[in-house]
């Protein structure tokens, strides 16, 4: 599986959009400072949104699409599935 994900620094905070084939590993990389420099500098570690894809090309296309969206659209997307902006990373325990 391939994943497009959104991290946030907090509710309505700074957002980071990425793509990976291993969510648990990628979240750990972000949290240990080995992920994106942007995420590290702005302390963007809370996983607030995830989509899964079978093909890497589909995930990359979606990531690029989301990065072009305006902020309000991204917030609405997050709040549709995660209105409290809860950290979804504990749900990864059985997934990778």
The per-residue pLDDT for range 65-96, each reduced to its tens digit, is 999 999 999 999 999 999 999 999 987 765 54
Residues of the domain holding 23: 2-89
Please tell me which of 23-32, 33-42, 54-63 the model is most confident about, judged by mean pLDDT: 54-63
Q: Give the CATH number for residue 81.
A: 3.40.1440.10
Domain count, the chain: 1
33 assigned to some structural domain: yes
CA distance 69 to 16: 12
User: Model pTM?
Assistant: 0.92
pLDDT tens digits, one per residue of 18-36? 999 999 999 999 999 998 8
CA 4 to chain centre: 6
SS3 sequence of the chain: CEEEEEEECCCCCCEEEEEECCHHHHHHHHHCCCCCHHHHHCCCCEEEEEEEECCHHHHHHHHHHHHHCCHHHHHHHHHHHCCCCCCCHHHHHHCC
């Amino acid at each position: 599986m391939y994943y497009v994900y959104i991290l946030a620094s907090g509710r309505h905070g700074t957002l980071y959009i990425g793509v990976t084939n291993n969510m648990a590993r990628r979240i750990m990389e972000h949290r240990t400072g080995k992920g994106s420099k942007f995420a590290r500098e702005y302390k963007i570690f809370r996983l607030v949104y995830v989509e899964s894809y079978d093909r890497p090309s589909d995930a990359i296309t979606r990531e690029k699409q989301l990065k072009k969206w305006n902020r309000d659209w991204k917030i609405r997307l997050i709040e549709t599935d995660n209105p409290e902006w809860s950290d979804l990373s504990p749900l990864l325990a059985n997934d990778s």
